[in-house]
């Protein structure tokens, strides 16, 4: 193995790609209210599948033994993001999803703004911890991001995609489609 080959999974190409996409998502989300709704819909319908893919291929990284979990986005910041997105999505904010955690499979009312704000919080925490540029911080950031992908934000994206798709690409009559 050459000395130039990267052996730290926390700095692998997949992690750096995840960091880049997560950072772009967070930067856009922080200023989403400055765009027109159509631009916001188009952005999220494209970035969310990419985030899901990047989260799914994150390597398993062991956290520092003393890692207790660091959170950076506080309740006020989350609330600001949520309210801004709620304004942008307006009447398109509510959607129905299924909960696969119970056997009822009863449709549940959900909020696009809430889901995106939750994803933002997890990814912003990842970005800020990873930016500390210390080996233990990067390892902990990747570990936490992967853990939260599996338990939280990955599920949020999966639930959001049908709703985002229907908003970004409203159904049209077959004879209106251009071939």
Q: What is the CATH number of the domain that holds 130?
A: 1.20.120.1550
Contacts of 115 (CB under 8 A, 6+ apart): 156, 157, 159, 160
Domain count, the chain: 1
Nearest C-alpha neighbor of 81 from the set 130, 47, 49, 123: 123
pLDDT for 7 equals: 81
* Rounded distance between C-alpha atoms, residue 22 and residue 149, angstroms: 12
Residue 1 lies in a domain: no
Residue-number span of the structural domain to which 45 is assigned: 9-62+70-176
**Of 138, 87, 30, 94, nearest in space to 146 by CA:** 138
Whether 53 maps to a domain, the answer reads yes
Q: Residue 15's pLDDT is what? A: 98
Asked whether 19 and 127 are in contact (CB, 8 A), the reply is yes
Q: Tell me whether residue 2 is in a domain.
A: no
Residue 175 has pLDDT above 60, yes or no: no
Does residue 160 fall inside a structural domain? yes
Any domain includes 37? yes
Calculate what percentage of the chain has a pLDDT beyond 90. Answer: 77
Residue 177 confidence (pLDDT) above 70: no
pLDDT tens for each residue of 49-58:
999 999 999 9
pLDDT tens digit sequence for 104-119 = 778 899 999 999 999 9
In a domain, 93, yes or no: yes
Model confidence at 68, pLDDT cuts 50, 70, 90, reads: confident
């Amino acid at each position: 193995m050459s000395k130039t080959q990267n052996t730290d999974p926390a700095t692998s190409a997949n992690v750096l790609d995840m960091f880049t996409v997560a950072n772009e998502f967070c930067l856009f989300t922080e200023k989403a209210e400055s765009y027109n709704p159509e631009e916001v819909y188009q952005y999220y319908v494209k970035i969310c599948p990419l985030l899901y893919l990047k989260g799914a291929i994150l390597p398993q990284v062991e956290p520092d033994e003393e890692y207790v979990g660091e959170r950076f986005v506080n309740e006020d910041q989350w609330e600001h993001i949520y309210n801004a997105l709620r304004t942008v999505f307006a009447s398109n904010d509510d959607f129905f999803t299924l909960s696969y955690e119970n056997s009822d499979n009863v449709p549940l009312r959900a909020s696009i703004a809430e889901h995106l704000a939750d994803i933002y919080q997890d990814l912003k925490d990842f970005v800020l911890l990873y930016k500390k540029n210390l080996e233990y911080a990067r390892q902990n950031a990747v570990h936490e991001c992967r853990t939260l992908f599996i338990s939280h934000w990955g599920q949020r994206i999966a639930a959001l995609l049908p709703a985002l798709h229907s908003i970004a690409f409203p159904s049209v009559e077959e004879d209106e489609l251009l071939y």
